A and B are shown apart, each in its own frame.
Chain A
């Protein structure tokens, strides 16, 4: 057997006897089990909530349709013209602007593994006509304390505990052996330094890989994901773990004590995993500041105030823009004119606020882009981005979900508007033909495409560090003699 595999085999046996490694292993496994249970539970709750909402909405819709039908039948029996209607289930004003529809975007299956941004945005929205500006404003019931702390899901375990495990496995690659003096003995055999280190890394890397694959496979089987995402997720995690293991090997190659290694690695971890991402976020908010929502609200309210001052002019303007509706308008007071005025005003406000919203979205996109590019220098940011993209709970997917809801609001308004302006009743057929909301799909191809950038970055980082480890190997050197004069030695 080649010396590499011999070394690996012996190292594996030694690892088994090492208490530090065993502890880190147990903690990792326990945390994974808890994380999977917690994540699956959280998702199950959300799915239940979404399903309850969708069912209630569908039932209500059917109820109203039946009511409209029975009212029409009664009217027919009495010989009343079906064109007339009152406030209620046959009025497009009531149904379009007061009742509305409840829509919900269900959490993707893999959100059990990486909750990401899915807990931050409301899953459910009430869609009514003449309220284009307020779609997407949050009214969710998640505890802000829970949001601030973050979810204890598999992504968290892999992002924070996996490095701990890798560093625990690798911080003492050769340091203790060097101190004890046994490294020279081992290297006296026909074995190069490089092969020894490679063999040790192989054993540790193998253990790490085994754990990672077990954790991700268990997660994907329990949560229900497809093979392509599993493959990329596992690849990302393996690269991430390998990065930290290689970093440990690199620090160990300095030739100092194991305790010194532990100190340096702790500082490196803090820097790369905590401080650097925080600095990047900070820089992003300075370089591409997003105006606060207070400014946005002020703009919307000022626009609303101005539009209100114009009295009936908005309606006239609207009808000038939409001549097809002007023909059918039946003038005169009553709820219809009020509904039409509201739609017209809302259109004007949306137009006035449009530039503000666009600037907002632009600055935000710039900020997110900055974080993604500059943040690529931290493997934690890369791995985080990869996990979220693959799970379908990242920035992009949330924007898509919001866009789908906004588009549905538009479709709903387009459906209800003509009826309102023509003062035509909301008939049973109208109920059947009303647009329904379809949550946006999250095709695997898109997820793979988005995650491929971070994944490539992770792979590159891991390979780079391994390269450094291969190149930079200090001679073992003589073990330091025991201190003779205690008062002279340093800590």
Chain B
């Protein structure tokens, strides 16, 4: 059972990464490209969460019912995932700001038309 959950998680991570990558490569609108990048980043969230998961164990919150030093789901990967989300938010905010400025300056948001760097 745990293996199925794990395999499903890995498959989801791989699918998200490849789909997002396809979106970035073939995108014709910069906002779509930024959001495809978000999808790529989401694959790492899924991967991290699945790595930390332990079947039938509680969340790592120690209360009266869950004693400290008893077995729980891995808390480190959850912290990594949250840091990952913060990093992603920063990068996507920066990219969207750049997109808005590009649209304002050149009237288009199509990456194939913003073509100043050939060669």
A binds B: no
